[in-house]
Amino acid sequence: MTSTYTYSYTRTHTATHLTDVILGAITDILADLGINMDRLHRDWTQNENAIKAWIEEGSLDTVVLECHQPSGAVVPVIEFPVSYTSSGTGDAEFTASRARLARFRAKLDRVPTGTTYKLFCTFNGPRTPQPGWGPGTRASTDGLRGITFGTLGSAPHASTGMRYYHN
């Protein structure tokens, strides 16, 4: 019984930590780009609960931030892939690369005034439906250049990274 409790307890804390890392990075990126975040703040609890639940159950593959420019261009696109391990023997610490992310964000391409955003999640299998989340269609990243940031945050049982697609 103890090992099941420890696993569940750790998985819950891992999900909370990685959700904070992902949503924190999205907030910082949107702020840096000057994109209106009223909707992000309004839907924060709903998004937080959904992403946390999907990480905890192991179904979340990637959180995607798309920036929709007034011209119709969808750029940049930032992906936050989640990787899982079957045991907690990976990184035993709860870490986040906030300073490294801040240096990376300084290099982001600027976007025109009026740019909006969309959030998508992709999955690696069945998932529990969450309020406020439904099917959607991602924009293509064909023709965009990609940069992999590496590990953005890690914890027992899972980690998240970041990929940045731009012109």
Residue pLDDT tens, the chain, 167 long: 444 444 455 789 999 999 999 999 999 999 999 999 999 999 999 999 999 999 999 999 999 999 999 999 999 999 999 999 876 544 445 566 777 788 888 878 889 999 999 999 999 999 999 999 999 999 999 999 999 988 888 888 899 999 999 99
CB of 60 within 8 A of CB of 54?
yes
User: Looking at the whole model, is its pTM more than 0.85?
Assistant: yes
Count how many domains the chain has.
1
User: What CATH number did the domain enclosing 124 receive?
Assistant: 3.30.900.10
Angle at 66 between CA 14 and CA 150, to 5 degrees: 45
Residues in the chain: 167
Nearest to 113 by CA among 152, 67, 77: 67
**CA–CA distances in Å: residue 144 to residues 34, 137, 141, 164, 166:** 21, 18, 5, 9, 5
Q: Considering Cα of 142, then 107, then 24, then 86, what sign does the dihedral take?
A: positive
* Structural domain range at position 63: 2-166
CA distance 84 to 10: 13
Looking at residue 107, what is its pLDDT?
Answer: 79
Looking at residue 7, what is its pLDDT?
Answer: 47
Q: What is the CA radius of gyration of the chain?
A: 16
Work out the number of other CB atoms within 10 angstroms of the CB of residue 149.
17
Which residue type sits at 141?
A: T
CA distance 10 to 8: 5
CB of 56 within 8 A of CB of 12?
yes
Looking at residue 90, what is its pLDDT?
Answer: 45
